[in-house]
Every structure is written in C-alpha cells, then in structure tokens.
Amino acid sequence: MLQVYLVRHGETLWNAARRIQGQSDSALTAKGEQQAYQVGERVKNLGITHVISSDLGRTKRTAEIIADACGCNVTFDPRLRELNMGVLEQRPIDSLTEEEERWRKTLVDGTENGRIPNGESMAEMAARMHEALNACLKLPKGSRPLLVSHGMALGVLVSTLLGLPAHAERRLRLRNCSISRVDHQKSAWLAEGWVVETAGDVSHLALPALDELQR
C-alpha cells in the first residue's frame, strides 16, 4: 500500500486580505510560516521520503519548511498548482461586480462547464492533479510522499477520488496547512486503487486556520 499525504500551503497575505490568488502569488504570513512548522512537527516521524510541491511561491516555502523537518529535499511539479482563475486573479473578493461574482460562483456551485474568463475549468485542474498523484506510483517501493498544493486543487482531487464529478458543488473545506491522506491499495471491502483515509485534519495547528470566506 502506498500512503500519500496532502498538505495545503500556509496562510498567505492574500488569504488574510481576501484576495483571489489562483496561480498568482503572495507570501506566507507569520502565521502561515508557523503553520508550516507545525505540519513539520506533525509529520517528521511518519517516514516521509519525498516532499513534492506546486511550483508557486507559497507552496514552495511551505514545502521547504516541512522538508527540512523530515530531512528530505523538495521537488516541484507544476501540475500541483492552484486553479487558474483568469481575469479575477489578484482581485479582492469584495470588489467583484455581480457578473464577476457569478463567474467565481460557477467554480463552486455545481456548474458543469464553469470557468472564469481566461481561466481553467475544474475538470482541467482535476486531470492534472490526478496525473501528479498517479506519478507517485512510480516512486521506489517503500516511498511515503507528501504533496504540498492548494485549497481548490486538493479539494477537487479528494472529491473526485470519492467519485464526485470535478464540477460538483464544493463541500470539502481544506484549511491552510490541513493534512489529508490518500492510500493506493487493494482491499476486499474498498474499491481498488486510491481511497481517502483522512481529509482536512488541522488538529496539529495551535490556532484556528480560517477559510478565506469566513474572515
């Protein structure tokens, strides 16, 4: 059985300011750095052999802190990037027009072909996230990888592993520096292949990790 840990990056300046990030970038806040160190403390004795990260700055920094705790190097995979949110990237959520808010909502309300202009669909993101996860099957026997990615990206990955379509209503909250785990296994009582062991665990964090729209 292959166990793969999934970690969302720490809190960023734009998370705190309620700005849309997508594939644009924003540095971790002091709290975000602390969250990443707390993940490192949580996983350092789990036998992590590989830390694989999205190549965006906020995930790189989170991954570097975790990898240092685990004694691993970091490798980067652009397939683990956040959803490309097109013309709305870098915009404060509260500044969106009614039309722009409708575009944004199509990503989370079950609209089958929803996307922001010049952006990416949930199905397109799900396809690359599955490619990145399945690449872990090619690691040496006995590996235990940890992937550092983003909230919507990890959410669509876990949801589609559970059998939901990529465009399904978004009902899984993965807070900053939450830890999830998926296993590739063969069981008499579960579907063969990837199964979800845990999702969105934040018990290792000293302070609550707030979801963007709850601030």
Q: CB–CB of 21/82 below 8 Å? A: yes
Active site residue 98: no
Q: Select which of 82, 89, 120, 212 is catalytic.
A: 82
- Is 120 considered catalytic here? no
DSSP track, the chain: -EEEEEEEPPPBHHHHHTB--TTS--PBPHHHHHHHHHHHHHHTTTT--EEEE-SSHHHHHHHHHHHHHHT--EEE-GGGPPP--GGGTT-BGGG--HHHHHHHHTTTS--TT---TTS--HHHHHHHHHHHHHHGGGSPTT--EEEEE-HHHHHHHHHHHTT--TTS-------TT-EEEEEEE--SSS-SEEEEEEEEE-TT-SSPPPPGGG-
Give the catalytic positions in this structure.
9, 82
